[in-house]
Amino acid sequence: MGELISVIDGLDLVVALADGQVHPDDLAQARAKAHIARDRRGYPGGTLVLALLGGTGSGKSSLLNALAGEPVAEVSALRPHTTRPLAWVPAGAEPALGQLLDRLAVGDRVVHERFPGIALLDLTDVDSIDPSHRAAVEALLPDIDGVIWVLDPVKYNDRVLHEEFIAPLADSADQFVFVLNQIDRLDGDGLTAVLDDLGAALAGDGVARPVTFAVAADPPGGSPVGVSALAAHLRHRLDAKRLHLGKVLADTRRAIRMLADAAGLRRGGTVHFEERWGEAVHSISTDLAVNGATPVVVEQALCTLEDLVGRLAAEAGGPFAARLRQGFPTAVVEEALLTAAAQMEVEIPRPAGRRVVDAEQRARAAEVVADELQHRLGAALRGVVWERAALAASLAGVTVDALRAEASLQRSEPVATAGGA
């Protein structure tokens, strides 16, 4: 769901454009919503993306096969290991998921329909003290929704795993699920002891309340044990993620509506400035060029400009109306007009009381007036109007993106129940 990224980027842009244009309290609320949306860790789409991580022989690939209900990852009996990363992705997943896998260099991909909305990445083994391995995991966390740490009864307390991976990443513990695999190798008392010991080790790592499952993904001569509980947890995580994303999108649209109301932009941003300004300047410059800067002509021109500013302010509404009225009072408009008229008289002198008959002189006089009005009044007016139009366009754009993202989220199929696990 690449739309979510567009929504978050759009909200950031709107907040930046609205700075100084709306009340600080309204801006602060919108900025807080933008911060919450931006701060969410994980893959920003409707698919739940989790990585399977663990040491050599922990049974990551076997666990993936058990969840899939079919062999999708190679399992070696001689030296269990994962040499090439594999992605198990839901059919119909958003294009952004493929882009993520490209960035992660996960080329092997198996499409499934067993768990719509859930993607699992079987990554290479992580039982090395090589700092680059932890750095790779650390870099991975912001882009995915979580990690399933797959442990086994022998190496669950491995020093490298805890000291080099889990403990340094404990701040991301809310993204972690711990799976003790191969429990078929333990009796009841042994399982209890290992789980207790694992809990103590994780507490020592800084993981206070670990989410832990005990499974046997591929017991000899039997069916998987405990995998259905893990599958149910993954479905719950998917539902929680989609609920959260829906709330983020709804909050974003509320923030956009609030800013639109505060800026007086609920009805859009078009005030047809260029057309109105062009008509007003043409009328004023032509009248001055033909009849000169007589009191009657100047008064009529001043009324035309004041009427234009007043209409723009009335239609703009909100803070933009105040900016137009306060920034362009009669005195400012009159000064710009009189300066334009005076410049015309300097460049195109005429006998007192005489009309300009020569067409070339009239055209030149009108051009001088138009240029002066544009320089002294039009540019500043246009700046305010364009700021309003830019904010309005951004508000409309992020609203459309949010609606698209919500529709994409709603189109996501309900998660199917995994059988045989």
Domain end, chosen from 187, 204, 225, is at 225
Q: What is the pLDDT of residues 330-367, one digit of tens each?
A: 999 999 999 999 999 888 877 665 565 578 888 999 99
Q: For residue 191, what are the domain limits?
A: 48-225
End position of a domain, from candidates 197, 225, 253: 225
**Cα–Cα distance, 105 to 140 (Å, whole number):** 12
β-pairing, 118-122 with 86-90?
Answer: antiparallel
Regarding whether 184 and 92 lie in a shared domain, the answer is yes
CATH code, 210: 3.40.50.300
Residue 122 makes CB contacts below 8 A (sequence gap 6+) with 52, 60, 61, 64, 73, 82, 85, 86, 87, 88
Residue 243 in any domain: the answer is no
Q: How far apart are CA 87 and CA 322, in angstroms?
A: 56
The strand pairing partners of 109, in sequence order, are 87
355 inside domain: yes
How far apart (Å, rounded) are the C-alpha atoms in residues 129 and 173?
A: 21
Please write the tens of the pLDDT for every residue from 101-119.
Answer: 999 888 899 999 999 999 9
Question: C-alpha distances in angstroms, 3 versus 96, 118, 342?
Answer: 9, 19, 55
Domain co-membership, 203 together with 312: no
Q: How far is CA 333 from the centre of its chain?
A: 43
Does 231 reside within a domain? Answer: no
Judgement on whether residues 219 and 277 belong to the same structural domain of the protein: no
Residue 23 lies in a domain: no
Number of domains the chain is built from? 2
Residue 419 falls within a domain, yes or no?
Answer: no
pLDDT at 147: 94
Residues 28, 118: Cα–Cα separation, whole Å: 36
Same domain, 206 and 92: yes
Residue 144 falls inside a structural domain? yes
My answer on whether 97 and 193 are in the same domain is yes
Q: How many CA atoms, within 13 angstroms, populate the side-chain half-sphere of residue 188?
A: 0
Contact call for residues 51 and 89 (beta carbons, < 8 A): no
Asked whether residue 126 is assigned to any structural domain, the reply reads yes
pLDDT in tens, 256-297: 999 998 888 877 667 899 999 999 999 999 999 988 889 999
